[in-house]
Each structure stands twice: as structure tokens, then as C-alpha cells.
Chains A and B, each alone.
Chain A
């Protein structure tokens, strides 16, 4: 079966620095893949390359077997790649519901309806409410996004991406800055959504417990290069990974 996402020889240089260096990976349909690595390993850069916010200096990216290397971020989103950001990125002065609704509208189309369009707005609102319910945010629908506590803002980001009904969901450190309780809740939500919606998920994560708890497979980045790729058990047992990341200093 064609992988949902395939990177081949992917590289990105910033001047002399190779933030991502010759990364090849394939993510199968329905898989929950985690990318881990120490700070500065190039995880977020890799995410930007896949979502199209940055252009690679080398290599190709294929989505469902189709080369998308030349496509812009909005084009990739419309094809079915939605993402969240490491630093919470929502529409602060819009309501929680409108944050999610606009995500639906932008993907669905009809964006240049200058007058009327009430039916369009209502249809997107229904889908937005479903997504909010799936993330347990229904009772905050009318609040302004800026007034949500940090944990709920992280969930709102996921709700926006999920409402777009993507095939591939990119989550950039979804539990960043969350308390242990919120982290556990977020992990549970991600697992449930992945199962219910049969999403393929690529996840960048710092928190090892989260990664080993959630992921089907784990890829390890170190200084921009992929040094290991395997099931959580294999990664835990891998000596290179131990040295590079998992507390080799201890």
C-alpha cells in the first residue's frame, strides 16, 4: 500500500547549518508516528517542510504517492494535511466556535461569498461543533479563544485541525507546557480521535512518556539526521538512541 506520507532525502539548510539532513521516512495509513529528538534536532523544521511552510533545499515529499514538494502550505492543507503549531496559534479575539468554524470554511470553500452565505456558515458551524465535542470543548464554544486556559488552547488547536477532516494530521508538541493531568487527558483525546477518525498522525514530542504511550512507531532525529526508526520497544532498546537522547548522560 502507498504510504500516506513519504519523504526522500529531505534536507533544509540555513546557511551552513543543515537543520534537516537527508531524512527519508514513510508513514503508513492509520499509523501514529512520533518524531523525537533533543532540542535543536530539527523536528520543527521537518514539520515545516512537510506542511509546506518552508521549502526544502533538497529531496522530495510525497503525499498519498503524489509529489507535493512544489505545493504551497495552503495547497497541501487543501489536499488533506492539517497541522498544529508548537507555539499555540489560534485566532485570539474570535470565539472558540468561530476558530474551528473558519478552519472548516477555509478548507470547504465558498470563501469569496461576499453577501449572504448563511447556509454555508451554518453547515460549517455544525461540523465545528462536532469537532469541539470530540475534544471536550463544547461548553467553551462561545468564549473568546484568548480567554481559554493554556491547556484548552492546545486542545482548540487540535480541534481546528481535526475539523478539517485531514488524512494526515501533524501535531507539533501537543502537550507542550501542560500539567501532568492535562497531558494525560490530551494523550487520551489524541488516541481516541486517531482511532475514531482513522487518522494518520505524525507527532513531534518532547515528553517521552507521551511518545511511548501513543506511538505505533518512533523516528529519532539527531542533528538533523534520522538515526533510528522502529517500534517504541525497539527504540527504547536502541543503543544509539540511548546515547543520543534517552539520558545517555546518566
Chain B
């Protein structure tokens, strides 16, 4: 896609996002907010998976840390929501430093297993540390406070929608810039051929740890939005099932495209939403759809669309 076409498409998307709250019914808007939050989460996974070639099976841990961090802060101190967002993201990023440091000692499937092990460990902590996390009940009644001290309330559905949409757009742009920076270019080289990368004069591991932490920051931001939006945080938000779904969202949308995983998350959750209202066996169908997509649309929705446009010129 030409830069100009991409810019037009971006502006159209922002315009659509701006109009939607007036078009959609209240519960539809609430579904949309959910889609955007998980879109942000899936996008963050793409940084390590698509751009650096590290498949993490434990990305939900950082979503969960963000959710718990923001939930606890909002429940106990009622700061403005952006403060809780920052805290949630930083908590996730801080935990990702040691986890990334250890996990990147391994590569491939061993890296994946280490990230999974750390995530399940964190899940167990959330489950067992009842005094802090409320155990399996989680933390309920997380308030949507204000935009800033003395500022407008975010309890209004439109207001919270704007906040989530702004977070997604800003994050997407930041990640896009990251992938185009000297650092981002180095990540792609690591993905393509790590041995060659090392022989060209740099150790790959520091790059991997840094991008792992950055991905955790954005996953934490998504989780930190999730807690006040849904009003709760529970251990499920850091369970391996969510990590697995994040992988499916990224693959559905298109690995290494950033926008793709956002779309992938939306499609994935919409299919789930629609199917689950007809049948309790919806997982069979989402699984089948996923298999078909991997076989017939390699590169995901966005990857396939790009190839199609390139072929047409």
C-alpha cells in the first residue's frame, strides 16, 4: 500500500471511530469497547511475535497484571483513570523485566514454554493471594473515576469509549514508529536470522528483553483499561486460555502488521459473540474457522488483503 493510501485509510478509520458512538446502541458500544481493548492487547503481542519472531504463550500475564494493578489502585485510592492506566502498564512492564531476562535465555518452543510457566505462576499468585486479589472471586466494583483530578467523569459510556479509542490509536502509532526505528529494524533482522545478526556485531538478547518489556507495557495498558471498563479483575484475565486466544487473534489478523491483530481480535471476538448466542458449542466453530483461515488465508486478513492489493497494483 502506498503511504498516501495508508494515510487516507487511517484517517477514514479514525473518522468511523469518531462517528460510531452516535450510531451504535448502548450495548453495541460496550461490545465495541471490549473489541478495542482486546485489539490493543493482540497488537502488543504482535511486537514480539510478528516483528521479533518470539512466540509467547504467556502474554495474558501482562494483561492481567495491568488489570489488577489498575483495579487495586482505583478501588483503594480512586485516582483519575489515566493514573491507574499508567500504574497498570508500569506494573506489567516491571514484572516483564525479570521474566524477559530469564525467558530470552531460551529460543523457540523453550522460550514459549518459559513464558507460559511464568504466566501460570502469576495466575496462581492471583488465585491464591486472597487478601490482595480476592482469590477466585477477583476484585469487583472497580470504579470508572475521572479523566483528571476534578475533571469529567468517565462513567459515561461515550467518555470511556473515547478514552479507549484514544489509547488504541496512540498506541498503534507509537508501535508503528517503533517498528520503523533503528531498533525496530534490528528486531526484524533478529526474526529473519539471529545467527547472522550476532555475527554482524550485536548480541540479540538485549533487543529481545527490551521489546518483551515494551510489549508487556502495552498489554498492561489494555488490561488497565479492561478493569475499570468491566468493573472487575479476576484470575481469568491472566489464564493461559487468554494467552492462546491472543495468539489466534494475531494469526487471524495478520502477523507482523500491527493493524492486523487489532482487526483479528475484533473479528475473533465478534464471531464468538454471535456464535455463542446460538450454541453453547461455539468453540467448535471458532476452532474450525481458525483452521480454515490458517490454511486458506496465510498471512491473516490484513496480509491477504495486502497481497491482493499488490497483485491488483
Contact = CB atoms under 8 A, between A and B. Distances in A.
Contact of B182 (A77, A85, A90, A113): A113
Contacts of A113: 181-183
B192 A92 contact: yes
A51 B199 contact: yes
Interface in B190-204: 192-193, 195-203
A89 B182 contact: no
A198 B214 CA distance: 43
A14 interface: no
Contact of A89 (B184, B185, B196, B202): B196
Given A112-B210, A115-B178, A102 B189 contact: yes
Interface string B50-89: 0000000000000000000000000000000000000000
A111 to B, nearest CB: 5
A114 B200 contact: no
Interface residues of A, number: 35
A111 B207 contact: yes
B192 A121 contact: no
A214 B177 CA distance: 46
Nearest to B214: A114
A98 B200 CA distance: 13
Nearest to A93: B192
Interface residues of B, number: 26
A120 interface: yes
A73 B185 CA distance: 21
A94 B189 CA distance: 8
A120 B182 CA distance: 7
Interface string A97-115: 0100111011100111111
A91 interface: yes
Nearest to B204: A74
A112 B183 contact: yes
Q: Which of B185, B195, B201, B206 is the most central at the interface, judged by chain A CB atoms within 10 Å of its CB?
A: B201
Nearest to A119: B182
Given A73-B199, A74-B201, A116-B177, A91 B182 contact: no
A74 B200 CA distance: 6
B186 interface: yes
A83 interface: yes
Contacts of A89: 193, 195-196, 199
Residue among A74, A77, A110 with the highest chain B CB neighbour number at 10 A = A74
A146 B113 CA distance: 30
B34 interface: no
B210 A106 contact: no
A164 B196 contact: no
Contacts of A83: 199
Given A102-B186, A113-B181, A113-B182, A91 B193 contact: yes
A74 B192 contact: no
Given A106-B186, A111-B186, A117-B181, A77 B193 contact: no
Contacts of A2: none
A102 B184 CA distance: 11
Contacts of A82: 200
B188 interface: yes
A91 B190 CA distance: 9
A192 interface: no
A91 B189 contact: yes
A51 B201 CA distance: 11
A85 to B, nearest CB: 7
Contacts of B198: 73-74
A115 B184 CA distance: 9
Contacts of A117: 181-183
Interface-central residue, A90, A101, A105, by most chain B CB under 10 Å = A105
A239 interface: no
Contacts of A116: 177, 181
Contacts of B199: 51, 53, 73-74, 77, 83, 85, 89
A242 interface: no
A8 interface: no
Contact of A110 (B177, B182, B206): B182
Nearest to B185: A102
Contacts of A93: 192
List 10 tightest A-B contacts by C-beta distance, closest first. Answer: A91-B192, A77-B201, A117-B182, A106-B200, A113-B182, A89-B196, A102-B189, A106-B201, A107-B201, A117-B181
Interface of B: 174, 177-178, 181-186, 188-189, 192-193, 195-203, 206-207, 210, 214
29 contacts: A53-B199, A73-B198, A74-B201, A78-B201, A85-B199, A89-B195, A90-B193, A91-B189, A91-B192, A94-B188, A94-B192, A102-B189, A105-B182, A105-B185, A106-B186, A106-B197, A106-B201, A106-B202, A111-B182, A112-B183, A112-B206, A112-B210, A113-B182, A115-B174, A115-B177, A117-B181, A117-B182, A120-B182, A160-B200
Given A78-B201, A85-B199, A112-B182, 11 more contacts: A85-B196, A91-B193, A91-B196, A94-B189, A98-B185, A102-B185, A106-B197, A110-B182, A111-B186, A115-B174, A115-B181
